[in-house]
Structure 1
């Protein structure tokens, strides 16, 4: 590192401390956000250093992050993308590749998923000409069950694609066994659950693919960004091809002939020796990330254990502080799990003397941010009314979620003062006298 760069980065760190000084928390004035990025001087310096190096496309930092993130989660291969939504798209699209032969998914095949999910877990099913099979979830954990998944399997079912709800693991081990017994692929949407444990293993390690988001709301951030992880090298090559325009070549950016056969292939109906860098084996996309994003990801990755501990601590504080509040169903961790929580989810019970909208409005008026549990029952949204899907069993709880459920934040940027304010506000609203 040059002396000029060293001095500049020292100034960047100094600037961070001046710019990041926090004002005292003022209840009702200071926003209590449901989610957000927690950034320190290392993050700022890492971004600036990458900018000084003019690393503006995918390069060495992306490769380094992919290796370190895969190693952190104990998965063989990771590929960075421009978003978690793109990661979901790539994971499912990979299963339609002709390179899988008779095993590939074809239009009309079914993929089991939950109705109470985020659209980008579900959209890739439609976008690849496949048919979602929607199952319900349990209240409290907000995950589906292995029994519901197994009962939903039909003659054309080929895969299962489910997210761990707000960091709370679905029964991944049991569902992975069902998938193995029925020759189904399993995609774990791990975007909300990086660092969560199920039966002693990290979520994202049970399926054929796992996906992650690095949007600022998530456990780690790159601003925007995502990742596809897989233990299967053949799947990894397909993901890489689909992400990188669909090209067949696996040389990294700036490499011209690592395979020593750049002009030695004959593929498709091309002439022998056609440049492998311009040979395309998939109808692909350009969904790559940049080294600027990866630079932030690398500094964030070191803090994953700290962030997970804070999320667990904040969730416990809310759970203990809100225990016994009338009219509210408290959340619970899935059996045999240690979630790295994404949010603290509450459902207004039918017997409550108030509606969700009243409680949410009260909290928002106090600058306490709330969010709904994503789409609720997604089949009720206008985008999906005319699309082809199958429903396996009643979606009773998904409808309850649509009408009565919301969540508040547990992310590491929340202080004890903020959490105490959230607890006091919910208790005040739920216990105040009402006349009907």
Structure 2
């Protein structure tokens, strides 16, 4: 917690067992009755349709209403131009991921949330180390999330974190993370707890005091990270600057090598104020090509180059989301294009230039057939 907090320059790190759990904890925290103005069932949260499922699921799981907007074709992030159109009297929050480590337009997002007094949750699971105008993404809103899955910038095998500069939100998040109990401070040393009030909680109508280990102020879960994982994380954070530098190097090496194939591929773009710590290299097939995405990705996989689709694409086209209570803004053509034509390849720090040359050459062998 301390090491990662120092790296990001934030006060509070709440480690959890996955990035998906981090998103669940973050949204649930903002629904707490301990807040003066919590999210309530039926409130709306603006979110891109082209999202990872567990960026959207906590909204639904907390009985909130997702309002889906489209993405930009250039950076594959949410389209800030649709934020005002998505606004309604029930709008209370905005939640989105920085796609594959590429920061969204935070100037536009922050202007919108400040104007309308909205909560902001940044899903930074793919963006640890990315900055906007020199400021780490994830440090703009009330809460942000990270993933420590093996493919991410650092790993503890499986894990994640919620982070914030607001101690009250961190206290609620720790309750959500720890079965919902009021205090997480420990009770073995000293016996009375680090808070000093372990035996001073009261339950109305019951005489005497109640041990705060069994005093519940939130509807919580058990989503904690283990100590052995945290030990691994300490070592990983020490290496994080090197990991980020290697990812950036690998991204730009691939970018230079793939530019020769722009008749077939739309290469990623990023804002001049953004400095992405790339999680992966996103690609979009150009339109009206004589082959389909699966033809290319199958060829790459057969040649030992792993690929991933850009998560759910337009999530509203996925079977599980056909009957959810939601709104959408417009026809979502870019989200549909992502669903049809987008994929990504890796920029893992362990890749060397010979590996990257092989990747570039393999793309060329496929395109040479056309």
- Deviations for 1:222-268, whole angstroms, at most 9, x for unmatched residues? 00111000111111110011111111123226343222222223255
> Among 251, 272, 287, which residue is 1:350 paired with?
287
The 10-residue stretch of structure 1 (262-271 or 176-185) with the greater mean CA deviation from structure 2: 262-271
Aligned equivalent of 1:279: 215
**1:214 equivalenced with 2:148 (yes/no):** yes
Native 8 Å contact 2:69 2:79 kept in 1: no
Aligned equivalent of 1:400: 337
Aligned equivalent of 1:59: none
Normalising by structure 1, we get a TM-score of 0.82
Q: Matches of 1:357 and 1:268 in 2, distance apart?
A: 62
Q: Matches of 2:69 and 2:312 in 1, distance apart?
A: 14
Native 8 Å contact 1:327 1:351 kept in 2: no
Native 8 Å contact 1:343 1:410 kept in 2: yes
Aligned equivalent of 2:92: 158
> Among 64, 73, 76, which residue is 2:8 paired with?
73
> Among 238, 250, 269, which residue is 1:302 paired with?
238
Native 8 Å contact 1:327 1:353 kept in 2: no
Q: Matches of 1:307 and 1:190 in 2, distance apart?
A: 16
The 10-residue stretch of structure 1 (117-126 or 136-145) with the greater mean CA deviation from structure 2: 136-145
Native 8 Å contact 2:297 2:307 kept in 1: yes
Aligned equivalent of 2:354: 417
> Among 3, 15, 25, which residue is 1:90 paired with?
25
Structure 1 residue 270 displacement after superposition: 4.3
Structure-2 change in CA distance of 1:190 and 1:269 (3 Å): farther
Structure-2 change in CA distance of 1:209 and 1:424 (3 Å): same
**Equivalent residues in 2 for 1:220-259, closer than 5 Å:** 220-252=154-186, 254-255=188-189, 256-257=191-192, 258-259=194-195
Could you say which structure has the larger radius of gyration?
1
Q: RMSD over aligned Cα, in angstroms?
A: 1.3
Native 8 Å contact 1:262 1:273 kept in 2: no
Native 8 Å contact 1:134 1:390 kept in 2: yes
Structure-2 change in CA distance of 1:369 and 1:386 (3 Å): same
Structure 1 residue 67 displacement after superposition: 1.5
Structure 1 residue 396 displacement after superposition: 0.2
Native 8 Å contact 2:178 2:220 kept in 1: yes
Question: Which of structure 1's runs of 4+ aligned residues deviate more than 3 A?
Answer: 267-272
Q: Unmatched 5+ residue regions in structure 2?
A: none
**1:139 equivalenced with 2:73 (yes/no):** yes
**1:107 equivalenced with 2:44 (yes/no):** no
Structure 1 residue 332 displacement after superposition: 1.2
**1:198 equivalenced with 2:135 (yes/no):** no
Normalising by structure 2, we get a TM-score of 0.96
Structure-2 change in CA distance of 1:312 and 1:198 (3 Å): same
Q: Matches of 2:106 and 2:203 in 1, distance apart?
A: 39
- Deviations for 1:369-423, whole angstroms, at most 9, x for unmatched residues? 1000000000011111111111012210110111111111111011111110110
> Among 53, 59, 62, which residue is 1:119 paired with?
53
Aligned equivalent of 1:148: 82
- Deviations for 1:298-355, whole angstroms, at most 9, x for unmatched residues? 0000011100001100010111001031221111123310100011111111132221
Q: Unmatched 5+ residue regions in structure 1?
A: 1-65
Structure 1 residue 276 displacement after superposition: 2.0
